[in-house]
Amino acid sequence: MHGRTATARNYRRLIIVLALTAAYMVAEAFGGWWTGSLALLADAGHMLTDVAALALALTAMWFSARPATPRKTFGYHRLEILAALTNGVALVLVSLFIFYEAYERWADPPPIKSNVMMMVAAGGLCVNILCAWLLHADHKMNLNIHGAWLHIIGDILGSIGALVAGALVFIYDWRLADPLVSIFIGLLIIWSSWKLIRESTNVLLEGTPAHINLTAVEDAILETEGVEDVHDLHVWTITSGREALSAHVIHTRASSPPELLKELRSKLLERFGVDHLTIQMETKDFADETFHFCHAGTACFRSTRELRPRQRTV
C-alpha cells in the first residue's frame, strides 16, 4: 500500500515538475537568444532534455504499473531503469554539445546583454529549486526519479553558472566568463550523470545491489541451524527498491525444510530487506545435474561434485 501511495505521489509531482520545466524552458531559450548568452542557451538545452526525460520517466512509471503477463512475468518494472539509463546518456550528450559551443565561442565571444541574462537566470534558478524540492523526498529510493532529479540539479547549476557569468560580464566586461562557466556546468553534469549510468547499468546486468554484501548474505544463510552449504546464490534488482534472491541450500536430513525455509526468509528480509526469494532445498545425496552459475565466495561446481555420493567400484 505504501509503495502504491509513493508511486502516485511521484507521478503527480513529476507532472508538476514537467509543466514548470517546459514553461520556463521556452522563456530561457528566448532569453538566451535575446541576450546572446551561451550559458543561458546551454541551460535551456538542458531543460529541453529535462522535458524529454520527465516525459520518459512518466511514461515508464505508467508502464511499470501495468500487471505482469505470461510473456512479461516481472511486468514492466525494468522500463524505469531503462528510462534512468537514457536520462544519464542524454546528460552526457548535452554536456558534449555545451563543450563544442564553448569552444566555438572561445576565440571570439559575442556581446552579451548581461543584465537581462542575470534576470532570466535568477528566474530559472527559482523554478529549478522548486522542482528539485518536489522530487527530493523520493529520489534516493527510485532510480527513475533520481535521474529526473539529477537533471533538475544540473539546471540549478546551470542557472547559478549563468548568474555568475552574467555578473562577471556586467561588472568586468569579461565575455570569456560565459563559455568558461558553460564548460564548468558541462563537467558537473557529466560527473553527476556517471553514477546514474553506472547504477542503472548494474541493474540491467543483474549485478548485486550496491547496498547488499553478498558475502554477508552467504554467511547469514550458512550460520542458520540446519544448513550445511549454499551454492548458486544470486541477489539482483528487479527495479528500484525491489531486490530478489535465489539460492540452492543444502540442509541436514534432521532439519525440517518448511521450517528452515521460513527461518531463512525471515532472516534475509530482516537483515537485507529482500522479500522476493526463490530457495531450492537440497540434501547431500541430491545431485542436481543442471548448469550452475558461480558467485563470488562459493565454488558452485563443488556442490555437484563433492556433495554427490561416490559410487563404489566393483
Q: For the chain, which domains are there?
A: 2-204 (1.20.1510.10), 214-305 (3.30.70.1350)
Phi, psi of 295 (to 5 degrees): -140, 155
The closest of 88, 112, 250 to 169, measured between CA atoms, is 112
Note the pLDDT of residue 306. 45
| DSSP, res 98 | H
Cα–chain center distance at 35: 36
CA atoms 281, 283, 288, 293: torsion sign: positive
Long-range CB contacts for residues 17-23, cutoff 8 Å, separation at least 24: 17/54, 17/131, 17/134, 17/135, 17/148, 17/152, 18/51, 18/54, 18/55, 18/58, 20/127, 20/130, 20/131, 21/47, 21/50, 21/51, 21/54, 21/127, 21/131, 21/152, 21/155, 22/51
Phi-psi region of 174 (alpha: psi -120 to 50; beta: other; left: phi over 0): beta
pLDDT tens for the chain, 314 residues long, are 444 555 667 778 888 888 888 888 888 888 888 887 777 777 777 677 677 777 777 776 777 677 777 887 777 777 778 877 887 888 788 888 888 888 888 877 778 888 888 888 888 889 889 988 888 776 666 666 777 787 788 778 778 888 888 888 888 888 888 888 888 877 877 877 787 788 889 888 888 888 889 999 999 999 999 998 888 899 998 877 788 999 999 988 888 888 999 999 999 999 998 888 999 988 877 645 555 665 555 544 444 444 444 343 33
Q: Does residue 103 contact residue 208 with C-beta atoms inside 8 Å?
A: no
Residue 15 phi, psi dihedral angles, 5° rounding: -65, -45
Phi, psi of 57 (to 5 degrees): -65, -40
Rounded Cα gap, residues 214 and 294, in angstroms: 12
Give me the helices (H) in the chain, please: 2-35, 38-64, 78-106, 114-136, 143-172, 177-204, 214-222, 257-272, 300-305
Question: Contact at 8 Å (CB) between 238 and 244?
Answer: yes
CA-to-CA separations, 309 to 124, 173, 301, in angstroms, rounded: 71, 84, 14
- How far apart CA 305 and CA 309 sit, in angstroms, is 9
Model pLDDT, residue 268 = 93
